[in-house]
Amino acid sequence: MPLFRRRSQPWNATTSDEDLVAQAQRGNREAFAVLYDRYLPRVHSYCYRLLGERETAEDATTDVFMSALTALPACRAGSFRSWLFAIAHNVIADEWRRRRPTISLEAAADLADPASWEEVAASAADWSSVLSVLPRLSEDQQHVVALRLSGLSAVEIGDALGKPRNAIDGIHHRATLRLRSLVATGETATTTTRGGG
């Protein structure tokens, strides 16, 4: 029996994610196609904001939807959006791990303090300069800001990242202060930091 059976069902923009997920879990491939069309721009935008390269973001977006399709039977009703972005978060984290150079412990001891990297910052006070300094935020801050820009609420971001809402609010607040500081300095972003929020 095929994984998905084709059915003729008129889906529209008002059909809830919950209804579409239920139909897709029963094998209706058109229902998943509607979810794909609905979330493709947001997921791609999220991946692009955090990865910074169009091709890498496209590959990551493909990985997100392939993983979502494979894991769809495990998706709980009413949580598709945060569940999908949790998958995206994991795909991006995997990509960051692949990019991270490995060094010996002796060499790591000689590296500059990451806090000193934060002295270097953004260019001008426009949207592109805000996006250009996004990599200067901690990994958690980058994810929270990118998910917020993708339209997720604090509760959904918490679900996607596996953190309580008050933690998300704190991370978002620190990220906002950090972005303001980076943009206000008028410096250029030259170094990426990774770490907690």
The verdict on residue 197 lying in a domain is no
Grade residue 32 by pLDDT with cuts at 50, 70 and 90. very high
Within a domain: residue 190?
no
Residues 21 and 91 in one domain: yes
Query: Which residue range is the domain that position 140 belongs to?
Result: 112-185
Q: Do the domain assignments include residue 37?
A: yes
pLDDT digits (tens, 9 = 90+) for 166-183: 898 899 888 888 887 887
Domain count, the chain: 2
pLDDT grade, residue 68 (50/70/90)? very high
In a domain, 106, yes or no: no
**What dihedral angle (degrees, nearest 10) is formed by the CA atoms of 69, 50, 42, 183?**
170
User: Which domain-ending residue is among 99, 124, 155?
Assistant: 99
Greater model confidence, 172 or 100 = 172
Q: For position 64, which CATH number holds?
A: 1.10.1740.10
The domain that contains 153 carries what CATH number? 1.10.10.10
Check pLDDT > 80 for residue 99. Answer: no
Helices (H), the chain: 17-25, 29-51, 54-71, 80-99, 105-109, 114-117, 127-133, 139-149, 154-161, 165-185
pLDDT for the residue numbered 191: 42
Mean predicted confidence (pLDDT) in 183-192: 56
Domain assignment present for 44: yes
Q: Do 56 and 35 lie in a common domain?
A: yes
Q: Per the domain annotation, does 31 fall within a domain?
A: yes
Q: Is residue 142 part of a domain?
A: yes
In a domain, 168, yes or no: yes
Model pLDDT for residues 102-116, shown as the tens digit of each residue:
544 444 334 333 322
